[in-house]
């Protein structure tokens, strides 16, 4: 492990708190030290209050901040005298500790202090760094963990047996270190938890952490060679059936969870090889890398067999028994679903209500796999007892978070939107994503890939007249997020107006190919995945021209009428699998690519209207925008219309001919 400290960069941070934030980010940038909000750092300083009094404060990492991106405002200033007094208390609940720490802050607008603030205050150095370094925790998660730590560090670190984080840990450290000479030590190892370094200079505290962790890494490399674990196997090309199994797995896990979850399939060579380990059933289910991870991963993953339904049912039953065995008082049981799965021969699959949740679980699972391999090479992987894991998973502070957690209407849902590069399709993709869905945005225009290049909306070039393009787009979405629940079949063209006797045969056929057959091809290809979807729905963008056609638009109106009939038939046939199919008939949606200012002006002039009058030419005298269509699409995809199928809904401000 290399130090990332840059003296030139550090010199610009003259304030100790700014320097603290800088070295904290150096730690946070290394995922083998800190993962997603884990770890914490602090700096002790003096400030003057309004009365001119000097106050000793501890600036400690605040709740909700990540060391990888933390800024000075991410640290909570807490009065040192209050923390020191709390350390001497015989007992206090963690909830009360959080309350008292909050009351001792000098800035009421700062985030809540870390639950380890008291522990940071006890350590008599200006800068304190704490990480959950993979190498250190892996060494402690072995039968000879304590002996190995002594071999690595000798008498240069204080070793603390595992104690649950919070007040109990702070109290334990306080009692064990009251009469020691801290200057003799470079750090402190918390068994099964992590490692601390400290010094009065920020650079030295940071680089001590690097040196201490590097020693553990070298120990693993040296001693692990005697019993090196070789995992063979590479990621093989996966067939369509594997993707359908992935969708089925996601659906089954979501059902056990009681809410929609996405599924991140990691089929890397390392994950694939790990999943093929002959002893994987035993080795993967001994517990998490650190107790902190249980909040994201549950105590263990599920190891899949050929019967996914039974695997998840068995996991749920065992988790319920685990809860009942250790629960006391009025605890709220978490859902019964796993948060990651080992899929033998295929890799691992990680679940989450949002992309971020699933990605965090995936990161933790990847580091857990590495640590397990290290620990096995050192004599065996041995996690903490289940009771210790339970105590962290059902920590009173975590129970409070459950009550305040808010979800968006479509969190965990996965959508596919066609014609998404502009107009209605673009608005639908953005609207669905805003409500929590992950969206595959399809369009024949390649610019869709740069327009939607984020983690929650993925632009995919697709020609809906080509079966191969459709299959590829569907597989891309399923492989990335685990399935498909919502289909917005929107892509279409508006041919040049012409009377029936003047309709060009090629124009007629192109309208049928895109406005009708393309939708049929998509629906046919996606049915197997919707069968494994969560509250699956198809929303078809039809047209006012279906109930009220106008002269000169035969190629368009006939294709849209056929599309509506296709939707009606789909509603009849797909209801047996719970797939809803509804149609929207928009009219006069002018904020789309085909309605340029010049076209609008000419059409308004033709009807002897102003542009404003033309745009609001309906009974309600209101303008219909793409975002209005998107809002209706989101409603149709959600719970409001959960029991509606086969409907045709006008979105036109009221049209006399339709009514």
Average pLDDT estimate for 155-168: 95
228 Rama class: left (phi>0) / alpha (psi -120 to 50) / beta:
beta
Residue 235's pLDDT is 47
Instruction: Give 366's Cβ-side CA count (13 Å radius).
Output: 16
75-121 per-position pLDDT tens digit:
999 999 999 999 999 999 999 999 999 999 999 999 999 999 999 99
* Cα distance between residue 318 and residue 451, in whole Å: 45
Task: Give the confidence band of 277 by pLDDT, cuts at 50, 70, 90.
Answer: very high
The per-residue pLDDT of the chain, averaged, comes to: 93
Bridge partners of 329? none
48-86 per-position pLDDT tens digit:
988 899 999 999 999 989 999 999 999 999 999 999 999
CA angle, corner 278, sides to 320 and 216, nearest 5? 85
Residues assigned a catalytic role: 556
Q: How far is CA 634 from CA 408, 486, 529, in A?
A: 12, 10, 20
Residue 483's pLDDT is 98
Compute φ and ψ for 571, nearest 5 degrees. Answer: -60, -40
- Tokens (6 digits) for 1: 């492990």
Quick check: 477 and 416 in contact, CB under 8 A? yes
pLDDT higher for 408 or 37? 408
Fold matches, 240-404 and 414-589+625-651:
no
Residue 401's pLDDT is 67
* Cα distance between residue 82 and residue 99, in whole Å: 12
Sign of the torsion angle spanned by Cα atoms 542, 545, 546, 548: positive
Quick check: 624 and 588 in contact, CB under 8 A? yes
Average pLDDT estimate for 249-253: 98
358-401 per-position pLDDT tens digit:
999 999 999 999 999 999 989 899 999 999 999 999 998 877 76
* Cα distance between residue 376 and residue 374, in whole Å: 5
pLDDT higher for 239 or 427? 427
CA 251 to mean position of chain CA atoms:
17
- Render the burial of 169-188: b for 16+ CB within 10 Å, e for the rest: bbbbbbeebeeeeeeebbbb
Quick check: 429 and 439 in contact, CB under 8 A? yes
Residue 410's pLDDT is 97
212-236 per-position pLDDT tens digit:
999 999 999 998 665 555 665 544 4
Boundaries of every domain in the chain? 7-227, 240-404, 414-589+625-651, 593-623
Q: How many CB atoms lie within 10 A of CB 13?
A: 16
What secondary structure letter does DSSP report for 496?
P
Q: What is the CATH number of domain 240-404?
A: 3.40.225.10
Share of the chain above pLDDT 70, in %: 97
Residue 569's pLDDT is 98
- Fold (CATH) for 7-227: L-fuculose-1-phosphate Aldolase (3.40.225)
Domain 414-589+625-651 falls under CATH 3.40.50.720: yes
Q: What size, in residues, is the chain?
A: 659
Intra-chain end-to-end CA distance of the chain, in Å: 72
444-486 per-position pLDDT tens digit:
999 999 999 988 999 999 999 999 999 999 999 999 999 999 9
Compute φ and ψ for 378, nearest 5 degrees. Answer: -100, 0
Give 608-645 as a 3 state SS string.
CCCHHHHHCCCCCCCCECHHHHHHHHHHHHCHHHCCCC
549-571 per-position pLDDT tens digit:
988 899 999 999 999 999 999 99
415 Rama class: left (phi>0) / alpha (psi -120 to 50) / beta:
beta
For residue 68, give the nearest of 115, 106, 28, 101 by alpha carbon: 28
For residue 531, give the nearest of 466, 584, 485 by alpha carbon: 485
> Taking 70 as the threshold, does the pLDDT of residue 512 lie above it?
yes
pLDDT higher for 237 or 240? 240
* Cα distance between residue 645 and residue 339, in whole Å: 33
648-651 and 580-586 strand pairing = parallel
């Amino acid at each position: 492990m290399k130090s990332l400290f840059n003296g030139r960069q550090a010199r610009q941070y003259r304030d100790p708190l700014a320097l603290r934030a800088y070295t904290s980010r150096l730690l946070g940038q290394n995922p083998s030290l800190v993962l997603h909000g884990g770890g914490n750092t602090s700096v002790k300083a003096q400030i003057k209050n309004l009365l001119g009094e000097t106050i000793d404060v501890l600036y400690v990492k605040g709740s909700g901040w990540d060391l990888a991106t933390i800024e000075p405002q991410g640290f909570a200033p807490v009065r040192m005298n209050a923390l020191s007094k709390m350390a001497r208390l015989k007992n206090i609940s963690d909830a009360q500790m959080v309350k008292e720490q909050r009351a001792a802050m000098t800035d009421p607008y700062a985030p809540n202090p870390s639950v380890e603030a008291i522990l940071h205050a006890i350590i008599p150095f200006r800068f304190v760094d704490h990480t959950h370094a993979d190498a250190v925790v892996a060494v402690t998660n072995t039968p000879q963990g304590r002996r190995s730590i002594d071999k690595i560090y000798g008498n240069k670190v204080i070793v603390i047996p595992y104690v649950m984080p919070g007040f109990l840990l702070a109290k334990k450290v306080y009692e064990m270190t009251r009469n020691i000479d801290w200057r003799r030590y470079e750090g402190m190892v918390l068994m099964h938890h992590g490692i601390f370094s400290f010094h009065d200079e920020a650079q030295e505290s940071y680089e001590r952490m690097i040196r201490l962790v590097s020693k553990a890494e070298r120990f693993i490399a040296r001693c692990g060679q005697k019993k090196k674990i070789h995992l063979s196997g590479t990621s093989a090309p996966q067939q369509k059936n594997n993707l359908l199994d992935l969708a089925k797995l996601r659906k089954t896990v979501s059902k056990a969870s009681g809410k929609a979850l996405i599924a991140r399939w990691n089929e890397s060579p390392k994950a694939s090889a790990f999943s093929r380990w002959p002893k994987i059933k035993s080795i993967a289910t001994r517990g998490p890398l650190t107790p902190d991870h249980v909040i994201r991963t549950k105590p263990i993953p599920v190891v899949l067999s050929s019967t996914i339904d039974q695997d998840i049912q068995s996991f749920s039953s065992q988790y319920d028994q685990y809860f009942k065995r250790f629960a006391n008082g009025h605890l709220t049981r978490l859902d019964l679903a796993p948060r990651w799965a080992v899929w033998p021969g295929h890799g691992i699959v990680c679940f989450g209500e949002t992309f971020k949740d699933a990605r965090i679980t995936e990161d933790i699972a990847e580091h857990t796999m590495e640590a397990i391999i290290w620990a096995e090479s050192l004599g065996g992987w041995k996690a903490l007892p289940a009771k210790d894991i339970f105590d962290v998973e059902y920590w009173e502070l975590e129970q409070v978070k459950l009550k305040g957690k808010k979800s968006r209407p479509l969190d965990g849902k996965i959508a596919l939107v066609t014609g998404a590069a502009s107009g209605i399709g673009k608005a639908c993709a953005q609207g669905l994503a805003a409500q929590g869905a992950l969206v595959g945005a399809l369009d024949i225009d390649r610019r869709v890939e740069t327009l939607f290049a984020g983690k929650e909306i993925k632009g995919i070039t697709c020609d809906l007249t080509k079966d191969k393009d459709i299959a590829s787009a569907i597989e891309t979405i399923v492989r990335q997020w685990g399935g498909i629940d919502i289909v917005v079949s929107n892509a279409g063209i508006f041919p040049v107006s012409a009377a029936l006797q003047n309709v060009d045969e090629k124009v007629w056929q192109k309208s049928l190919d895109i406005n009708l057959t393309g939708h049929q091809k998509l629906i046919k290809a996606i049915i197997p995945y919707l069968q494994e979807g969560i509250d699956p729905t198809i929303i078809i963008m039809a047209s006012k021209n279906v109930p009220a056609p106008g002269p000169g638009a035969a190629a368009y109106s006939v294709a849209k009428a056929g599309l509506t009939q296709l939707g009606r038939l789909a509603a009849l046939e797909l209801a047996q699998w719970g797939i809803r199919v509804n149609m929207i008939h928009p009219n006069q949606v002018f904020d789309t690519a085909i309605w340029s200012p010049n076209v609008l002006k000419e059409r308004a002039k033709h009807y002897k209207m102003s542009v404003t009058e033309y745009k609001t030419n309906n009974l309600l005298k209101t303008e219909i925008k793409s975002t209005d269509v998107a809002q209706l699409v989101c409603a149709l995809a959600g719970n409001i219309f959960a029991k509606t199928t086969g409907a045709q809904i006008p979105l036109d401000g009221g049209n006399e001919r339709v009514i």
